[in-house]
Amino acid sequence: MLLGWSREPLLPDWSPLRAARFWAGLSQGDLAAIVGTSRETISSLERGASLPSVTLALALARAVNATVEELFAADELC
């Protein structure tokens, strides 16, 4: 886990993915480029409007130095 990062969001409406991206110093576009998806997909994931594939979830976790479990609640991924 990234030093200083917590699954608890900085703001009440922030998802764990958004908080981790913030602490990693990445914009949505930066993160999208790293994991090979679009900025719109990152936005949708952060809002909870969609769920990532296993491959994308793993890539996102690696990119922000977190675990899939830290970024997404288990009940979201079922």
Q: 55-77, pLDDT tens digit by residue?
A: 999 999 999 999 999 999 866 65
In which residue are the tokens 């594939």 written? Answer: 53
Q: What global pTM score does this model have?
A: 0.83
Does residue 1 belong to any structural domain of this protein? no
State how many domains the chain has: 1
Query: Quick check: is 47 in a domain?
Result: yes
**In a domain? residue 8:** no
CATH of the domain at 51: 1.10.260.40
* Domain range for 27: 16-70
Neighbouring residues of 43: CB distance < 8 A, sequence distance ≥ 6 = 28
Residue 31 located in a structural domain: yes
DSSP letters of 38-60? Answer: -HHHHHHHHHTSS---HHHHHHH
25: Cα within 13 Å, side-chain hemisphere: 3
What does the alpha-carbon distance between residue 57 and residue 47 come to, in Å, rounded to a whole number? 15
pLDDT higher than 50, residue 3 = no
Question: What tens digit of pLDDT does each residue of 18-59 get?
Answer: 999 999 999 999 999 999 999 999 999 999 999 999 999 999
